[in-house]
Structures are given as structure tokens and as C-alpha cells.
Structure 1
Amino acid sequence: MARIGYARVSTTDQDLQTQLSKLKAEGCEVIRSEKVSGGSRDGRAELATIIDFLRPGDELVVTRLDRLGRDTRDVLNLIYECEQRGAFVTVLDPHVSTRGEMGHIVLTVLGMVAQMERRFIKDRQREGIEQAKRGGVYKGGKPRFDRVRILELGKRGIGPSDISKTVGCSRMHVYRVLKASRNDDPI
């Protein structure tokens, strides 16, 4: 039986160290971590690796339930997958485990709270942006990629795949920028 820790933060500028320290202090022999959004399971390769690795009697440990996910259905599906492998899930804060029926109930409620919190955050963000727009303060998000550079490379005859690698964006973004420039549309 192994205790396997999973740590996650949403953005690359956030720090994993606090979670890693707590998981290590809890006796996790293996700890996997990643910097990716918890809104869905897409792109969460480390979590997928842990789920594949779980054996009967193993325990998946997270510091908080929202590290597993912010969608109730997704969290419950993860717990179900662990149980299908004969493994348990333990959340450290608040301390809850799927080893008993009460743990299942508490984790379901906590998952619903995490999902509700995510909706509240999005609502507050949307309201703040609308208020800033009305006040003439909001200028939109800062551009993530150099549109001018994409256009320059496109004019030189470089293909979208090579442009996306050079600029560090998706091919779809390159296609959008090139199409908008042909139509003289702002992006």
C-alpha cells in the first residue's frame, strides 16, 4: 500500500512548495505535481499517471479537494475511478477520506462547494470587467502573442505550424490572426 500525493496549481507563476511540503510530511512516498487548471481533466497528465498507477490499498492524498478539481462530477468520477482500482482518496484540509461512508458524503458536499465557488469567482470577475468597461478603465486583456510578428512571418511565406512554434502559440491562433488580417478585422 502506497500513499501517493498529488499537488496542483492553476498557473505557472503559482508555487507548489506548500502543497509538496504537506504531502511529504503526511508520508507520501510518491508525489506528482503539475501547473494546470483544475476546471477540467484536460491536460492533467500527472493526475492521469497517478490514476493509472493506483493499486488496491493505495491512497491518493491531496491537500485540498479543489486540487483534484472544481467540478463536482469530475471530482466524484475521480474518486470512483480510484475506488474501482481498490484505492482510497484522502483530503488533508479538512481531513476526509473515502475509507468510510461519511467520507463520501463530506467529499460530495465539498465538491459541490468548490464548484459553486468557481461560479462565484467567474461571476465576480465578469461583474468587475463590466464595471471597468462602463468606467472606461477596461482595455481588455494584454495580448498574449505578438500579432505583428505572426503577420511578418506569414508574409515571408512561413507556414502556420512553423509560425506557431516560433511565436509560442497554437496553430489555430496563427490561422485566426492571418484570416483577420486578410479581412482587415481586429482580433
Structure 2
Amino acid sequence: MSQTVFYARVSTKDQNFTHQKDQAEAAGFTIDKVVSDHGVSGIHTRLSERSEGKRLFDILRSGDVLVVRWVDHLGRNYEDVTDTIRDFMRRGIIIKTVINKMTFDGATKDPMQAAVRDALIAFMAATAQAQAEATKEAQRAGIEAAKDDQQRYRGKKPSYDRKTYQAVIDRLALGEGASSISKATGLTRQTVLRIRDKPETAEAALSKWNI
């Protein structure tokens, strides 16, 4: 007896597969079994290398239906997705997507139908990879922007460490001049004067940069 297996993948702790399963059922699928991977990046991990995803190759039989939200859940890139879909089809497994309700069935013997099907698989896999790369690039840009914002908030990194700062304070307390302290510590005279005039600001800068 054939079965319908729903495969879900969520990459962060904040996501959960229940929403994906609800979407599939709302689209009219009757799910017999759910297989899900948590905390797994689809960009870096092949389906056959995921702790639960690799089970699909064991539990699915000819005539079974594999339901996924979208083809990108079946691999990490164009080649991986297309290879996985073709592998399942060779085994007689039917693949269906929740989005757009696409069906990929390897049963057809008509070469024209097979050509159209394979072209569609290739197009969808390429689109999935392009979307994944765009998402990754957006995330990278967001991280860099956050770093820039953090750096602007903390201000310019001090040119001295806490030991050097303390040496300047101690020498100033002994009445030593800015030029002499500059020569002894390697700091510019202007930096020594800034520490002398606003020691609380210098101390705050060290704290912001965890120095």
C-alpha cells in the first residue's frame, strides 16, 4: 500500500515544521507520515547527509508520494536538487510540491513529456539555487551592516590599551609633560592630551571596545 510522506526542513530554532505541515494539508494533501530536520541549513547540507532526510531513501517505495513545500528542500544547490529528484523518480516515487502543486513522476515513457518534465525540474532547481544565494547574500550584507552600525556606535577604536592608558594617567599624576609621555608610551601628543583632558571619555572608549 502506497503512502504519502511529507518532508520538512527548518534551519533555525525559531521555526517549526508544524506550519509547513498545516500548509500542505490546507493545499489538499493527506499526510501519512512526517519526516523533519531541525536546525539544518539547506544551503550547506545534502538531503542524504541530513539526520532525518536520509531516512527518506529507506522508507520510500515505488508508488509512494513525497510531498515538500518546494524543491529547494531536496538539496543544497541546482545539481543536488536535480540529482535527488531524478533518483527518487527512478525508484518510482512521485514528488509533489505544496507551492504551485507541481508533480514530478518518472512513470512516463513518452520522450517529449519526459523532456518537458526534466526541463521544468532544471528550471525550478536553478530558481531555488538563485533564491538561496540571494538570501545568503542578503544575510551577509545584513551582518556587515550590523557590524558597521556597532562600530559607529562604539566610535573609533582607541590607539592604546588599558595598560598604556594607565601608564599615561600615572605619569600625568606625577606632573610629567605630554611630550615626554608621548615619547615614553609611543602615543601621539594629541592622544595624551585627550586622555589628560577627558579621562572619563578615554575610559569609556576602552570599555566599549572591551579593551
Q: What is the TM-score when the length of structure 2 is the normalising length?
A: 0.58
Q: Does 1:31 align with 2:34?
A: yes
Counterpart in the other structure of 1:126:
140
Counterpart in the other structure of 1:115:
129
Describe the SS at the equivalent of 1:38. coil
Query: Does the CA-based 8 Å contact 2:74-2:85 persist in structure 1?
Result: no
Aligned residues: 139
Structure 1 distance, partners of 2:117, 2:71, is 12
Counterpart in the other structure of 1:20:
21
Shift of 1:28: 1.9
Describe the SS at the equivalent of 1:94. helix
Describe the SS at the equivalent of 1:31. strand
Shift of 1:43: 4.6
Shift of 1:106: 2.1
The two structures, once aligned, show a CA RMSD in angstroms of 2.4
1:1-187 alignment to 2 at 5 Å?
A: 1-24=2-25, 25-35=28-38, 36-39=40-43, 40-41=45-46, 43-99=49-105, 101=114, 102-134=116-148, 136-137=151-152
Describe the SS at the equivalent of 1:73. helix
Report which of the two has the higher share of helix: 2
Structure 2 distance, partners of 1:2, 1:54, is 8
Structure 2 distance, partners of 1:137, 1:59, is 53
Identity of aligned residues (%): 32
Counterpart in the other structure of 2:186:
none
Q: 5+ residue gaps in structure 2?
A: 106-112, 155-211
Structure 1 distance, partners of 2:142, 2:30, is 42
In structure 2, the CA distance between the partners of 1:132 and 1:34, relative to structure 1 (3 Å rule), is: closer
User: Match of 2:129, as an amino acid?
Assistant: Q
Which sits farther off after the overlay, 86-95 or 99-108? 99-108
Q: Which has the larger radius of gyration?
A: 2
